[in-house]
Structure 1
């Protein structure tokens, strides 16, 4: 079965399916308030942490910038400096907007599976396609959403997408589990190294399986 090849702009919703964050002076530090509507930054996407925020805006500013609002299931992509890092927003997120360094994508779920899109976009980034369209010698910047809209992507039928997404997710989970085990062993090693070298633990009192 041959897969259809389409442009990325064809798999997003019709209205503001791809939205770059507000430009210019829309978000200045003097408008920030101690609490309120969150400003989502690149650091949230890169770290995968969408519960801690540095900046907030009030309701009036949020309404003014409502075109840049985030919702559950939105895909956020970094678009300046570190390009192409991606996160799919989970349920029960903090209400807020994206800043100028992010792009928000809303896919059409009747056309493309979000998890399939994530892995496909990871591949696009790995192949250097995003970098090739960026500008800036020292700070890379993906200035035009038209670049994303025109990227060609393979589009198998939805059931095939779902199978691919499930397979890759399962492997991802195994990798994460192994990385967690490795981290735990590294922490144990550092603690043991310190305790042995400072005589807090005697060698004869240890049993280490090799």
Structure 2
């Protein structure tokens, strides 16, 4: 039960282990990727879709394993049950929103909206894109918090001299530049679609070139570009567009290698961040 969060996510870091011999004894409790796991004790009705890198998994006796056919996506079912609660199938919930009863008999009699698989797939695509954006925003927030902490320490130690920074002028120039750049990007990118392979590559290439231009005189890594690209391509995606994938990343990596070979970019190791970084020669 500790592996299932309240919002229906699997938490893979919480694990107990058994021997291979014990696993064979408990094989009736085995679970595979795509199974829906539901709690029937403690926080009743807490559920998630199982996705794990481990080849073998078993569940405790306090959990129910449900395996659907090809016409019902596990993600759709878990999302419906997690967010709609007692409004689905007239299931009873307590004051805290948790289900008061959950067992296989209740699940067998459960009635709920069952849209065509095409609509379920569209929903799954939207969820995937939303989760990708959420992860990026959380990473950006962590980076900002780390930066704030470092600046605060320098300020308290007296190592940060703000008098040398013309804040009003910098803010004004930055706002103007950002507005101009944003307008230019919208004009240039409006015609691109991520669902068309040729336009997809053109869009990613344009974003790559624009990013490289911005980085002149600064240190960066390929991941810095990738995080920015994942956000910017969302506006050019529809239900037919797959999210950025390894093949797209490999193309960006090849473009970067071309810059290194031509001498336009240089590579160095940042000891403070413990990573390889690049810089564009001006």
TM above 0.5, yes or no, is yes
Between the aligned partners of 1:205 and 1:80, the Cα distance in structure 2 is: 61
Query: Aligned-pair distance for 1:106?
Result: 0.9
Q: 1:80 — aligned with what? A: 41
Work out whether residues 35 and 74 of structure 2, in 8 Å CA contact, stay in contact via their aligned partners in 1: no
Instruction: Determine whether 1:196 maps to 2:173.
Output: no
Work out whether residues 81 and 141 of structure 1, in 8 Å CA contact, stay in contact via their aligned partners in 2: no
Instruction: Determine whether 1:123 maps to 2:83.
Output: yes
Q: Give 3-state SS (helix, strand or coil) of 2:141's partner.
A: helix
Larger radius of gyration: 2
TM-score normalised by length of structure 2: 0.47
Q: 2:118 — aligned with what? A: 159
RMSD: 3.5
Between the aligned partners of 2:56 and 2:153, the Cα distance in structure 1 is: 45
Query: Aligned-pair distance for 1:87?
Result: 3.2
Query: Aligned-pair distance for 1:160?
Result: 1.8
Between the aligned partners of 1:103 and 1:82, the Cα distance in structure 2 is: 13
Aligned counterpart for 2:12 among listed residues 47, 50, 53: 50
Which string of whole-angstrom CA distances, capped at 9 and with x for unpartnered residues, describes residues 158-201 of structure 1?
A: 11221222223323322332233223223322332233223343
If asked which structure has higher relative contact order (CA below 8 Å, sep 6+), I would say 1
Structure 1 residues 185 and 127: alpha-carbon distance in aligned structure 2, compared to 1, 3 A threshold: farther
Q: 2:144 — aligned with what? A: 185
Q: 1:20 — aligned with what? A: none
Query: Aligned-pair distance for 1:113?
Result: 1.9
Structure with the largest fraction of strand: 1
Structure 1 residues 141 and 103: alpha-carbon distance in aligned structure 2, compared to 1, 3 A threshold: farther
Query: Aligned-pair distance for 1:71?
Result: 1.4
Structure 1: runs of 5 or more not aligned: 1-41
Q: 1:174 — aligned with what? A: 133
Structure 1 residues 129 and 172: alpha-carbon distance in aligned structure 2, compared to 1, 3 A threshold: farther
Structure with the largest fraction of helix: 2
Q: 1:113 — aligned with what? A: 73
Between the aligned partners of 2:86 and 2:140, the Cα distance in structure 1 is: 26
Q: Give 3-state SS (helix, strand or coil) of 2:48's partner.
A: strand
